Amino acid sequence: MNEKKLKQLYLVKRLVLVAIIIYIILFIVLNTSYLSIDNLRRFGYSAKTALTQTSASKNDIMSFSSDESPVFSTFKDGFAVLNDSLISVYSKDNIRFSYHSANFRHPVMRVSDEYILCYDRGGKTLKVFNSFDLLFEKEFPDVIINAAIDNSGKIAVLTDKNGYKGQLVYFDSSFKERFLWYSADTYPVDLAFTSTNTVSVVTVAQELENLNTVVYSLNYVAGEERGNIVSKETFPISVSMKSDGSIEVLSESGLVSFRSGGCNTVYNYGSQLPHRYYQGDKYTVISHKLSAQNDSYTVSAFDVAGNRIFENLFSNVRSVSSISDTVFVLTSDTFYILDSSGNTVSETDAPAGVTGIVPGRYKIVLFGAEKAYIYTMSDFLK
């Protein structure tokens, strides 16, 4: 090989090497949020098992006994399952990454982008996992009421406390206890990380014969209570943090929005309690039965300001749900996917016996008393 060809070959190798380096840099820049250690381990595990293990079908079916009542949650591009004795984490191909023992009588699971928080409501044990490992475990001296975890791993836990109505314990992202807050006058029921360095605690206060909802804002870095907002004659049935950082309380009479400037009832449904409801980060979905004589229901979706964005009519509604701009409706025989205007995007026969929906960006779980059906969004959007 002459000198000229050697130089050309050397130049080509350098160009290829530069191209590879540029590709790697672009990949890292465009996927910084994805390139966590846990995500890299998930990728490596999936790549390895793809060579040695057949992936489950797209609509994998999980069976369990009727007395198990497992809790399902979507996690990253897969999902997680928690029952009274075990937590299992699955990949996008429904292959189990890991499983860990648990001992919960009333298991609760809450997830963030990177973490899975499990605890026993009415018990004293709390655990935090990623896709593969138990990262943190705590046995509290008092009964756990509720808990929350953010994307960085910060944890806030509400517990009972002798001499108080309850207390909040805050742990930083290294799982070190950093802040305690005691509730002397109101009963804590739920909480959420809302804005920078802030956790909001939803409580109930009795005023003569009435019940009020009081939401406290706590700065866990400064270690102080920054204020509270009171909604008179409101009892919280369900609580959600919305995409704009507000706290939405579904009460016995309507939707109440708590913001830094105060609170107001953004939608009032009066004495007609919802038949089914789901509070997503962007939309809250509520179904009402039209009459006791038929099986017709209205399904309505509301934005963070309480504006009704659509109302559709369905028969035999079993469950409703939403994520981002997508709304889900499950009837006795059909599973519907709707857009934010209420238009039907997908309409599919529902498996027999399913009664609930667990929504996710990649996975959707339809579950009943003894079976759960695991789908990907692409199974419906063809």
- Phi and psi torsions of 172, nearest 5°: -75, -175
User: In sequence order, which residues have a C-beta less than 8 Å from that of residue 74 and are 6 or more positions away?
Assistant: 80, 111, 358, 359, 360, 361, 362, 363, 364, 365
Cα 118 from Cα 110, distance rounded (Å): 7
User: Quick check: 225 and 274 in contact, CB under 8 A?
Assistant: no
Q: What is the pLDDT along the chain (382 residues), one digit of tens a residue?
A: 566 665 566 666 666 666 665 545 444 444 444 568 888 888 887 777 666 654 444 558 999 887 778 999 999 999 999 988 899 999 998 989 999 998 898 999 999 999 999 999 889 999 999 999 999 999 999 999 999 999 999 999 999 999 999 999 999 999 999 999 999 999 999 999 998 899 999 999 998 889 999 999 999 999 999 999 999 999 999 999 999 999 999 998 899 999 988 999 999 987 788 999 999 999 999 999 987 677 899 999 999 999 999 999 999 999 999 999 999 999 999 999 999 999 999 999 999 999 999 999 999 999 999 999 999 988 887 6
The one-letter amino acid code at 137 reads E
For domain 274-382, is the CATH number 2.130.10.10?
A: yes
Phi first, then psi: give them for residue 95, nearest 5 degrees.
Answer: -95, 135
Tokens 């050697």, residue located: 6
- Residues 112 and 74 sit within 8 Å (Cβ to Cβ): no
pTM to 2 decimal places: 0.87
- Rounded to 5°, the CA angle 182-187-188 comes to 70
**In whole angstroms, what is the distance from residue 265 CA to residue 230 CA?**
12
Rg (CA), the chain: 24
Euclidean distance between CA atoms 233 and 94, whole angstroms: 46
How is residue 85 written in tokens? 């004795």
Give SS3 for 27: helix
> 3-state SS of the chain: helix, strand, coil percent to 5?
10, 50, 35
Query: Please, which residues have CB within 8 angstroms of residue 113's CB and are 6 or more apart in sequence?
Result: 76, 151
